Amino acid sequence: MTTTDISMTTRLYLSALFAAFAVTATPTDAQTNSGYDPRSWAYDEATNAVIPPSSLGQADEPAEDEGPPPSWSPIPKQVVSFNDAQPAGSVIVNTGERRLYYVLGNGKALRYAIGVGKEGFEWAGRDNISDKKEWPDWRPPQEMRSRVAATGKSLPVHVAGGPNNPLGARALYIGNTLYRIHGTNQPWTVGKANSSGCIRLTNEDVIDLYTRVQVGAQVIVRQ
């Protein structure tokens, strides 16, 4: 099985893998404390395939990671009143509210629903957008790969950008940290606290945000 042939179950599990990607520290500490937990997956180097837990006879991920609930529908973005004295073009993340605000100016902002860090993985800080990528590749850092290798397992060096990639359609990189504002191939998880620190939007919303946010823009994350 090739990377492009990864099954839906595997794609969902790749997204779950990335949910453990970030850390509990502030953005400036994130690069050296990745805190990655491979849990119960396995990687087959011969086929370049991630084998999901169900194929190993182990427990599956929670039901919310297996597919959208019957009543799921996306939370639409909307223009709202916004009186925070931040310059237009700023990105303000309110993790408690599970909303991201793109400041339009003149007392207005565009509000998006987001997925945020689960309990114990919350963080707050101020930084800037350092890079933007369309259909970003996933390249786990060496520290993460070494950590996984110590368990007797392997982690792929590279997962190509595309619908199988847990980063989704776009990624906005926050400073020099491992945190990102990115899309997802599990849109039904948006609006929940289920990541390890990264900010997750639906692919439709992250594409819209991507066209608006400039490299160098201010990012403020509040709990």
Which of the following is catalytic: 22, 198, 199, 221?
A: 198
Q: Which residues pair with 174 in a beta bridge?
A: 129
**CA–CA distance from 66 to each of 20, 37, 134, 178, 179 (Å)?**
17, 19, 26, 26, 24
Q: What is the CA radius of gyration of the chain?
A: 17
Question: What is the DSSP secondary-structure string of 23-67?
Answer: -SS-GGGGGG------TT-EEETTTTEEEPGGGGTSPPPPGGGTS
Indicate if 182 belongs to the active site. Answer: yes
Report the chain's terminal Cα–Cα distance, integer Å.
Answer: 42
Indicate if 198 belongs to the active site. Answer: yes
Six token digits for residue 142: 């060496």
Which of the following is catalytic: 11, 77, 132, 182?
A: 182
Q: How far apart are CA 114 and CA 193, in angstroms?
A: 9
Q: How far apart are CA 182 and CA 206, in angstroms?
A: 6
Catalytic residue ranges: 182, 198
